[in-house]
């Protein structure tokens, strides 16, 4: 089943629970949680203690996207705060295998992430081990940027590799996706659509998520 993972980065934290209800009742399956450290990316967002506070109020799958240097240091905190999927950047560590093993040791899902300039070949050795591959379609760090269409070729490449080798990962695309271009992203082979500003920036958040899900379901 194809999925929507609205990015909390664009939410209004003053009324976060209310906004989360709107996307959950619209049918969003995942909640995309962007953790930024101001080092790996030139922006700081929030950490584990913040999303821990909403774990009890929603059943959505916590799809945590770590934009932090040396992620192995904090896997324990992120899992204990309620992550269901832990996505780390291959560019952020010298030892991706140890990060994968550490995440797996907690029994949660493992996601590996690539920036726009990183080729699929950089993660090829790990493709048989991960549950999800997150393809950035903007430079990570900020919501509201424009999608880089070239990155969609990597989605198609990952789909072909999965078919050829019997891998099981979901392919997620993140950055610059909205109702106007989501079809193009799905047609490339994406399974999980991240959308921040297109959902939380809309006047009617529930409707924006629902409209997006209606399109997503056409590709199931």
The residues binding Zn ion (CB under 5 A) are: 34, 65, 174
Instruction: Exactly one of 37, 63, 131, 174 is catalytic; name it.
Output: 174
Q: Is-catalytic flag, 94?
A: no
Binding partner at 195 among Zn ion, ligand DX5, none, C-beta below 5 to 8 Å by kind: ligand DX5
d(CA 153, CA 82): 32
**Sheet with 192-195, side-by-side order of all strands:** 3-6, 192-195, 170-174, 132-136, 109-114, 85-89, 61-67, 30-36
Residue 126's closest CA among 100, 87, 154? 100
Q: Least separation, in Å, of the C-beta of 74 and ligand DX5?
A: 17
Q: Looking only at residues 178 through 217 of this chain, which bind ligand DX5 when binding is defined by CB under 6 A?
A: 194-198
32 touches ligand DX5 (CB under 6 A): yes
The catalytically annotated residue of 12, 34, 131, 211 is 34
Shortest CB 105 distance to ligand DX5, Å: 25
Extract the tokens encoding 117. Answer: 């300039």
Residue 120 within binding range of ligand DX5, rule CB under 6 A = no
Q: Which span sits near ligand DX5 by CB under 6 A: 7-15, 18-26, 117-125, 157-165?
A: 7-15
- Say whether 70 is catalytic: no
- How far apart CA 39 and CA 68 sit, in angstroms, is 7
CB 68 within 8 A of CB 46: no
Coil, strand or helix: which one is 35?
strand
89 lines the binding site for ligand DX5 (CB under 6 A): no
Q: How far is the CB of 9 from Zn ion (least distance, A)?
A: 7
Per CB under 6 A, 141 contacts ligand DX5: yes
Which of 145, 148, 179, 215 lies at the binding interface for ligand DX5 (CB under 6 A)?
A: 145
Question: Closest Cα partner for 79 from 107, 60, 53, 101?
Answer: 107
The answer for residues whose C-beta is within 8 angstroms of residue 218's C-beta and 6 or more apart is none
C-alpha of 194 from chain center: 6
Enumerate the active-site residues: 34, 174
Residues that bind ligand DX5 (CB under 6 A): 7, 9-10, 32, 34, 65, 138, 140-145, 174-177, 194-198
């Amino acid at each position: 089943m194809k999925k929507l993972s609205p990015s909390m980065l664009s939410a209004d934290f003053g009324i976060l629970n209310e906004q989360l209800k709107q996307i959950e009742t619209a049918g969003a399956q995942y909640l995309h949680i962007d953790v930024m450290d101001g080092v790996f990316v030139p922006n700081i967002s929030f950490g584990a203690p913040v999303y821990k506070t909403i774990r009890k109020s929603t059943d959505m799958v916590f799809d945590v996207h770590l934009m932090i240097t040396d992620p192995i240091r904090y896997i324990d905190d992120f899992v204990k705060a309620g992550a269901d999927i832990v996505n780390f950047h291959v560019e952020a560590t010298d030892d991706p295998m140890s990060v994968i093993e550490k995440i797996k040791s907690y029994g949660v899902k493992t996601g590996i992430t690539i920036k726009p300039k990183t080729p699929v070949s950089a993660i090829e050795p790990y493709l048989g081990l991960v549950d999800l591959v997150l393809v950035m379609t903007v430079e990570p760090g900020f919501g509201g940027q424009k999608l880089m269409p070239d990155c969609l070729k990597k989605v198609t490449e990952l789909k072909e590799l999965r078919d050829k080798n019997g891998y099981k990962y979901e392919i997620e695309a993140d950055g610059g996706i909205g109702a106007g271009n989501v079809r193009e992203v799905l047609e490339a082979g994406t399974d999980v659509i991240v959308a921040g500003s297109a959902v939380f920036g809309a006047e009617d958040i529930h409707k924006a998520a629902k409209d997006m899900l209606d399109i997503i379901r056409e590709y199931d």
